[in-house]
Amino acid sequence: MVTTDEAVNDRLFFAQRRLRELERLNNGDIAGANPRDRQQLIQEFFFHLVGAIEFLVQVINNSLRLGIPMENVNARNVHDRLSSSDPIKPLLDELYPRTRGTPLPLNPYSDEGSHFRILVLRHWVCHYGHNPFFFRIGSTPRSSLFLDPRDQTLNGSQRPAIDELIISGS
């Protein structure tokens, strides 16, 4: 079976669907929502959002006939197989930055910081099953996303969670 650009678009559609459900959850009050419902929707959102990137690298592998076996295709392998002058290479660096052992970019709200946080948060919710939300009592925003859940001394974003998710899921 060959992965197509339609599969990539489907993953983005599924992520957007979960985002809309999260947005409506508990009439928009994420902090007061049922924790299981909130966790399921955020896991599925990040799963599909990052899944779109993973499907995209399958499409690149097939389209450019890189010859990487389907089960070994990932953003790093595709990146490394491309020539240094290939214009796709820097796009893959942006879409799927290295996060292991790498600190949060200085501006977590930049494109670079957002892409980095998407991957870290996806790993956090899909691989570890942890809550990515930072909740506040008596201040705003009431719920935000951790800036980097690997370092909780950084606390939460100053932006409401749903606003950041809408930007990343658009």
Question: What would the pLDDT profile of 19-74 be if each residue is shown by its tens digit?
Answer: 999 999 999 999 999 999 999 999 999 999 999 999 999 999 999 999 999 999 99
State pLDDT tens for residues 102-126. Answer: 999 999 999 999 999 999 999 999 9
Q: Give residue 152's Cα distance to chain centre.
A: 18
Predicted pLDDT of residue 49: 96
**pLDDT for residue 170 is more than 90:** no
Q: Tell me if 132 sits within 8 A of 37, measured CB to CB.
A: no
pTM confidence score? 0.90
What pLDDT score was predicted for residue 5? 84
Q: Enumerate the domain spans of the chain.
A: 5-131
Q: Which helix (H) or strand (E) holds 52?
A: helix 35-63
- Under 8 Å between Cβ of 133 and 29: no
Report whether pLDDT(155) > 90: no
Q: What count of other Cβ atoms lies within 10 Å of the Cβ of residue 10? A: 15
> pLDDT over 70 for what percent of the chain?
96
Token duo for residue 112: 């670079």
DSSP-derived 3-state class of residue 83 = coil
| Cα 125 to Cα 33, 140, 160, distances in angstroms | 17, 23, 18
The terminus-to-terminus CA distance of the chain in angstroms comes to 28
